[in-house]
Structure 1
Amino acid sequence: MTALNFTHDPVRRSWIESANLPDADFPIQNLPFGAFERNGEARTGVAIGEHVVDLRALRDSGLVEAGSDAALACEAASGATLNRLMAMGPRYSGALRAALSELLKSDAPQRANVQRQAEALLPRIDEIALRLPCEVGDYSDFLTSLHHTERHGRYKGLADPLPPAFKSLPIAYHGRASSLRASGGEVRRPHGQYRDASGQIVFGPAPALDFELELAAWIGHGNAFTQPIPIDAAHEHIFGYSLLNDWSAKSIQWFEQVLGPFLGKSFHSSVSPWIVTAEALAPFRKAPVPRAQDDPPLMPHLRGAFDQQQGGLHLALYADLSTSRLRDAGAGPVRITRTHLDNLYWTFAQMVAHHTSNGCDLRTGDLLGSGTISGADDAARACITELTNAGKDPLRLPNGETRTALEDGDEIVLSARATKSGAVSIGFGECRGRIAPALAVAGRREEIAA
């Protein structure tokens, strides 16, 4: 398992001053990986302060020792995506992280050489177009917050709000990888079938559009078909983490859901473009929240010594809402959710172990969503449906606006920070998306006989 090393040293500072600011998402202790477009060409990089290290330019610079693990990792990451690097395992990404930490530290011996090549090596993040960090073959989204699950069960009028299997295994559905998009841009309101206020089944723009605040794990090296991943080996298969907004058309989802979510979920999912590596998060590991004494005992494949000791993270997560009226008035976004990863009932290692327990093979670049990270407190409700008690108690904003669902022009910005005493706090960057009106459809809305 990833141990602490010099890259985590809280005293270490970078000669890139924006990385040393107290609220910097990307200090030298973070160094997350991502992909971007520069001069019409897709590349990969590592974020540091307000800049990104262009890994192809680094490969060509001669600044990394030839033949070293770091050089091999840099070569693997010099294409358009991170898949090759992720598949190599933590030894190689860790070596590249270590080499970068040495090049970027304030007293780096090669600082002058790096600065001479800074124009090629270190473009500003705001001057490049960020992309999905890797090719995603499969996307599985879990349901692991007890509070989120229980609330939605009550909203649906279920006699037992929690599914019978919830406390025995991590529940998930198979998402739509082709609809994943990097943070930013528009989220188009989808069309679909739903039951309107009069009870009729209609087809039209989804009226109940929602965000869902999640954390996603990226699979590095996968497992062979038919060969499960043991739970205490699962952490070695997770390359890192990003924020995930699992946009949901609740009106469509609640009407159609028989086998599981379909069109109510598959129209768009947003991820933050930077992968914060498992190694960067090593200082923030913690024990997961203990299960209640009367909960079912863990099955052997879901119980591991390391996971029980360090399967959680000191990670706070946030959602902010901006509306057209707020922006027109020059007002900033309003924070509507404050939650914590402690609000997950299952750990990511348990998700990986259970996902592969039947012999299913995970592959490099696969994405696993945590499910909505809602807590017991009102402030920790992590979607509009919960924040409004399924529309019964509208969300009131400081300018007098109210919301029971997201409206066109509304923008959601997700963020997160890992914080622990004795460690330098690190962030994830933004996961942002703005609701755009539904596309026009020829003809009038069809009413369908129930």
Structure 2
Amino acid sequence: MYEINETHDPNLKSWVESANDPSTDFPIQNLPFCVYEFGDTEPVLGIGFIIGDKILDIYGCINDELMQNEAIAQFASFRFWTLNAIAGFAPGVLSDLRRQAVYLLSEKNKDRVAIAEHLYSISDVRFEAAFKTGDYTDFYCSIYHATNVGSMFRPDNPLMPNYKYIPIGYHGRASSIVVSGTDIKRPHGQNRSDAEKPPVFIPCKNLDYEMELGFFVGKGNEMGQPILMSEAENHIFGVCLVNDFLAKNFATTISPYVVTMEALAPFRTKAFERDTDDPQPLGYLNDEGNKNFGGLDINLEVYIQSEKMRNENIEPHLLSRSNTKDLYWTIGQMLTHHASGGCNLQTGDLMATGTVSGKEKHERGCLLELTWRGTEPLELPSGEQRRFLEDGDEIIMKGFCEREGFRRIGLGECRGRILPAD
């Protein structure tokens, strides 16, 4: 687990002025990774750090010897176009790269001309998925979400008996993970409204979103070799926002920015405090470090903007606010349990927490909960109602961390708009 160091100093400022805006998600204390494309006639891909409204090209800085990192330099000449090429390096290598980037971008550095040649405006690029993801696992780690959903479908037994013993998850399709801004076409599915008649194949009626936090595997493990709880976070590269569109689990939108575990060091918190009558995690999921610092204090927000709202210039409407510190299981426990049977995790694998919900209604992370299975429709500022997502609706997810004595950092946005079915 990373410790707080000089790169988290709240007094650090950058000569990239936009990074000093108090409202920015990307101050010099953050520096999330991204993969981007720029140019129209002959587009070029790059891997960079986000700083304010700019991107610092990592490969360009290494090739021009503005950064010295032997482990990563071997990839610079080949210019691999995903983070898979560097994410598996030891934490110390990645920390060294972060420190060098902070030095280059700090206002104390007056030698800026050469560095500026490797800065690109975010508005001039197109973001790509940061990793080539081979496997995707979605967990179910919010006890509040699980209890709410269970209460709708199994009111006499809302929480399954194994929920408090293992982080429950399922394997999803990695091929349908798309980067923020990608439109999502409404899927078809079988529907049977009359028990006396066969089902019909129609566009999905109850299309929903799920506000989740995702995390990418950095260093993998050999098949047959579990990962100890004490070592789990050495295998986690960073986090992103995830919108798992819910119908037939057909599409997953992720934010393009990967905030590293080191950047999140000031925002660690204790794991979820279980009720006194709850069982403690089994030994392989129990660790003092995880108990004291395994949680993450990340604020999550969900907004909606309907087609009518866009046409009438009405700003996106806030649907919910939740926080990852309310997750029953930590990301370290998710990863350790996943590998506990000897499953070989690989660099770039994506895991997600499942819907992040809190105790209160305004903290519910999906429409299924907010409208209580469609029985309590939401009112939008345009005069419309929503039980589930309609064609033209855009869901915007945001995430950020705040703590007294440290600089606010953010995870950016994750956007997806619903298109009509064919």
TM-score of Structure 1 vs Structure 2, range by shorter chain: over 0.9
Where do 5+ consecutive residues of structure 2 fail to align?
none
Equivalent AA in structure 1 for residue 27 of structure 2: P
Q: Matched residues in 2 for 1:128 and 1:199: separation?
A: 54
Q: CA deviation at 1:197?
A: 7.1
**Which residue does the alignment assign to 1:163?**
160
Q: CA deviation at 1:227?
A: 0.7
**Which residue does the alignment assign to 1:31?**
31
Q: Matched residues in 1 for 2:8 and 2:239: separation?
A: 17
Contact conserved, 1:58 with 1:74, CA < 8 A, in 2? no
Contact conserved, 1:144 with 1:345, CA < 8 A, in 2? yes
**Which residue does the alignment assign to 1:93?**
94
**Which residue does the alignment assign to 2:64?**
61
**Which residue does the alignment assign to 1:228?**
226
Equivalent AA in structure 1 for residue 414 of structure 2: C
**Which residue does the alignment assign to 2:332?**
349
**Which residue does the alignment assign to 2:16?**
16
Q: Matched residues in 1 for 2:355 and 2:382: separation?
A: 27
Q: CA deviation at 1:399?
A: 2.2
What secondary structure, in the 3-state scheme, does the structure 1 residue paired with 2:175 have?
A: helix
Per-residue CA deviation, residues 256-315 of structure 1 (Å, 9 max, x unaligned), is xxxxxxxx10x2100001100000000111112211111112100110111011011221
Q: CA deviation at 1:73?
A: 7.8
**Which residue does the alignment assign to 1:261?**
none
**Which residue does the alignment assign to 2:112?**
111
Contact conserved, 2:63 with 2:76, CA < 8 A, in 1? no
Q: Matched residues in 1 for 2:341 and 2:78: separation?
A: 32
Aligned pair 1:126/2:123, yes or no?
Answer: yes
Per-residue CA deviation, residues 174-230 of structure 1 (Å, 9 max, x unaligned), is 010000001002111001113337785221110110000000010000111111101
Equivalent AA in structure 2 for residue 421 of structure 1: E
Q: Matched residues in 1 for 2:77 and 2:303: separation?
A: 37
Q: CA deviation at 1:79?
A: 1.8
**Which residue does the alignment assign to 1:321?**
304
Q: CA deviation at 1:159?
A: 2.7
Q: Matched residues in 2 for 1:27 and 1:135: separation?
A: 27
Query: In structure 2, do the counterparts of structure 1 residues 175 and 318 end up closer, same or farther at CA, with 3 Å as the change threshold?
Result: same
Q: CA deviation at 1:77?
A: 9.1
Aligned pair 1:397/2:380, yes or no?
Answer: yes
Q: CA deviation at 1:55?
A: 2.0
What secondary structure, in the 3-state scheme, does the structure 1 residue paired with 2:103 have?
A: helix
Equivalent AA in structure 2 for residue 47 of structure 1: I
Query: In structure 2, do the counterparts of structure 1 residues 393 and 108 end up closer, same or farther at CA, with 3 Å as the change threshold?
Result: same
TM superposition score normalised by structure 1? 0.90
Paired positions, count: 418
**Which residue does the alignment assign to 1:333?**
316
Q: Matched residues in 1 for 2:257 and 2:360: separation?
A: 29
Contact conserved, 2:211 with 2:366, CA < 8 A, in 1? yes
Per-residue CA deviation, residues 121-170 of structure 1 (Å, 9 max, x unaligned), is 11111111101001101000000111111111122135311111100000
| Residue of structure 1 aligned with 2:416, choices 423, 426, 433 | 433
Equivalent AA in structure 2 for residue 127 of structure 1: D
| Residue of structure 2 aligned with 1:294, choices 277, 283, 291 | 277
Query: In structure 2, do the counterparts of structure 1 residues 4 and 157 end up closer, same or farther at CA, with 3 Å as the change threshold?
Result: closer
**Which residue does the alignment assign to 1:419?**
402
**Which residue does the alignment assign to 2:286?**
303
Contact conserved, 2:143 with 2:328, CA < 8 A, in 1? yes
Query: In structure 2, do the counterparts of structure 1 residues 125 and 197 end up closer, same or farther at CA, with 3 Å as the change threshold?
Result: farther
Q: Matched residues in 2 for 1:295 and 1:76: separation?
A: 54
**Which residue does the alignment assign to 1:312?**
295
Contact conserved, 2:55 with 2:120, CA < 8 A, in 1? yes
| Residue of structure 2 aligned with 1:214, choices 212, 232, 257 | 212
Q: Matched residues in 2 for 1:219 and 1:83: separation?
A: 9
Q: Give the stretch that moved more between structures: 240-249 or 394-403.
A: 394-403
Contact conserved, 2:72 with 2:86, CA < 8 A, in 1? no
CA RMSD of aligned residues (A): 1.6
Q: CA deviation at 1:57?
A: 1.9
Where do 5+ consecutive residues of structure 1 fail to align?
250-263, 440-450
